[in-house]
């Protein structure tokens, strides 16, 4: 049980709350109701597999940085509670689970796209070494979740709705990742990493985060319209806007003490609110 708890901490399993509700919202909208048990199970396993593989690999790739950063000194690989061999095993098994779910439970389109998705989310671990667009790289990784869920239900991606939702999720994720990265601005700068707060300063990062969240809220409204959703989904978009405004009141250039509340509490609520709004519109049908 101790190793299980350390593994869940290794991959930040609680952060699954960010992407999974958006995938659920996309699946409900695509199906016009609840998809089959097979598709629901496939989406869940694929999501968990891809995200776990990406997070475990990220911890392996960033180990030398985590050892130097006081904020990450108690992570399982740094503290020695888990070994590199275990982390590699988790990465490989999770990647295999993702591909197997696409192949056995979903459809040929999902299987065809699985190497692209897996390569993208694993590649993120090296992005901040050479580009300040690493925040957007992460965003696209999470934005693939609703696009993939739509593909799992429909077997095609010709409808604009999943692309609009995926872009909204990408910008929303990049925005809150900018807030989170403010904690490590000085450390990243000392290590030559290209995170926006380290290269351009915390005030610039906060302004860019605000802009991305404004665009994300607008795109969420575009998704509701494109998917033909109703009153509850529009109410969800309005509540998301309020949550994002609240999130940005928590973080100031000279006060980062509430970054974790802004990062986790507000953003977990955002994805949940969208999923509930879509479900309330779709399920009575």
DSSP 158: -
Say which CATH number the domain at 257 has.
1.10.357.140
Confidence category of residue 9, pLDDT binned at 50, 70, 90: confident
pLDDT tens, residue by residue, 129-177:
999 999 999 999 999 999 999 999 999 999 999 999 999 999 999 999 9
pLDDT tens, residue by residue, 48-64:
999 999 999 999 999 99
Collapse the DSSP code of 255 into the 3-class scheme (helix H, G, I; strand E, B; otherwise coil) and give the result. strand
Q: What is the model's pTM?
A: 0.94
Q: What are phi and psi of 132, to 5 degrees?
A: -80, -5
Q: What angle do CA 280, 24, 38 make, to 5 degrees?
A: 115
Q: Cα dist. 279→17, 29, 227 in Å?
A: 16, 8, 13
pLDDT tens, residue by residue, 54-110:
999 999 999 999 999 998 888 999 999 999 999 999 999 999 999 999 999 999 999
Collapse the DSSP code of 252 into the 3-class scheme (helix H, G, I; strand E, B; otherwise coil) and give the result. strand
How many structural domains comprise the chain? Answer: 1
Output the pLDDT for position 238. 97
Residue 152 tokens read as 């799992």
Output the pLDDT for position 103. 96
Q: How many helices (H) and strands (E) does the chain have?
A: 15, 0
**CA 23 remoteness from chain centre:** 10
- 122: domain range? 2-282
């Amino acid at each position: 049980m101790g190793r299980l708890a350390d593994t869940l901490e290794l991959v930040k399993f609680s952060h699954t709350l960010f992407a999974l509700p958006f995938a659920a919202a996309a699946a409900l909208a695509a199906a016009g109701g609840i998809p089959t048990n097979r598709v629901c199970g496939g989406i869940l396993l694929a999501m968990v597999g891809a995200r776990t593989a990406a997070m475990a690999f990220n911890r392996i790739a960033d180990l030398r940085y985590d050892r130097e950063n006081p904020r990450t000194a108690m992570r399982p690989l740094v503290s020695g509670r888990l070994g590199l061999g275990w982390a590699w095993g988790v990465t490989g098994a999770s990647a295999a689970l993702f591909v197997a779910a696409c192949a056995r439970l979903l459809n040929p389109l999902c299987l065809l796209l699985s190497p692209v998705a897996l390569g993208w989310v694993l590649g993120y671990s090296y992005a901040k070494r050479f580009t300040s667009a690493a925040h957007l790289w992460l965003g696209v990784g999470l934005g693939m979740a609703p696009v993939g869920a739509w593909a799992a239900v429909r077997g095609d991606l010709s409808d604009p709705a999943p692309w609009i939702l995926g872009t909204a999720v990408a910008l929303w994720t990049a925005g809150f990742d900018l807030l989170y990265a403010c904690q490590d601005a000085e450390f990243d700068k000392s290590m030559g990493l290209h995170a926006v707060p380290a290269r351009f300063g915390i005030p610039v990062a906060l302004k860019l985060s605000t802009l991305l969240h404004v665009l994300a809220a607008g795109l969420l409204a575009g998704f509701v319209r494109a998917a033909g959703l109703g009153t509850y989904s529009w109410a969800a978009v309005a509540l998301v806007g309020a949550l994002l405004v609240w999130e940005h009141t928590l973080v100031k250039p000279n006060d980062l003490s509430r970054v974790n509340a802004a990062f986790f509490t507000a953003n977990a609520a955002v994805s949940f609110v969208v999923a509930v709004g879509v479900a309330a519109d779709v399920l009575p049908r």
